[in-house]
Every structure is written in structure tokens, then in C-alpha cells.
Amino acid sequence: MKDLDTLSVAVACDHAGYELKEEIKQYFAEKLFELKDFGTFSTDSVDYPDMIHPMAAEINAGKFDFGIAICGTGNGVSMVANKYRNIRAALCWKNEIALLARKHNDANIISLPARFISLAEAEIMIESFLTTDFEGGRHSARVNKISNVTNL
């Protein structure tokens, strides 16, 4: 199990996820070693790829341990983040899914559907996600096959 105060985490959202992102930042600001916000910085309409690409690129390059991506449904941000070879973004809407995304899939970005979860649910899922270890074992070969596609 990981300690929150040793982790570097990136966060990004679109306009639909802005309010949840800001609340999450407040909750986790003093618990994490580093928390970098890639935007957006208001509820003004934006295109989520503009925030998610820079965040995912830095996680992909190993500059952050984890990421939190938020939009209305969580789907769009997941789709963008998963374009990167070393990213495994998991759409989570309940804690058990967040736990299994880490344990079985070694997910490194949690994608949240701001329109469908509460702040309390988000906080629980994020904390579980960030502190849960990948089980490895039988899951390792499966996870390795995610990024090892040669015919792209």
C-alpha cells in the first residue's frame, strides 16, 4: 500500500468536471507530495483533449505517479488519455471498480464522471486508487499486452 504523501499526482478536467476537480484539489492538497493542475480553470466550455493530452503525456513520460481525469461522463477523458502507450485510464464510478482497476489492470489514471458521482464518492475512490498496489501475478501478462501492440 502506498503512502499518499509520497505520490505525485496530475489532475485535469473539462468544464463539466471543474467544480469536482476544485473540491478534490482542496481535499488532497495537503495529503499528496505533489498535485499539479492541468486545467481547465473555470466552468467556461472547453474541449477536454486540450487538458488531458498534456496531463497524459507527462504521466506517460514518468513525470507523475498517477492522474485524475474528470469530465461529465468520464468517457471522453479516458479515451484521450488511453491514446498514450504507458497510460491505462480507468473509468470509475464506485469504489470497488477503482480498487480492481489498480489491483488487476495497474491503471495509472482514474477517470471520474462528475455528473454521476458525489464528492464523497470521488474522495473515497481516489484515495483507494492511489493507495492500492497492482497485484501482478496472472494480471501482469494481460497488462503487458495492452501496450505491446505492433500493428497500430
φ/ψ of 67, rounded to 5, equals -135, 155
Q: Rounded CA gap, 151 and 139, in Å?
A: 23
The residues, ordered by sequence, that sit 6+ positions from 6 with a Cβ below 8 Å of its Cβ are 33
Q: Rounded CA gap, 78 and 75, in Å?
A: 5
Q: Rounded CA gap, 136 and 106, in Å?
A: 8
Strands 109-113 and 89-91: parallel
Q: Do the Cβ atoms of 55 and 10 come closer than 8 Å?
A: yes
Active-site residue flag, 15: no
Q: Which of 13, 15, 53, 71 is catalytic?
A: 71
Q: Which of 15, 53, 104, 139 is catalytic?
A: 104
Handedness of CA 35, 77, 112, 14 (dihedral sign): positive
Active-site residue flag, 13: no
Q: Give catalytic residue positions.
A: 71, 104
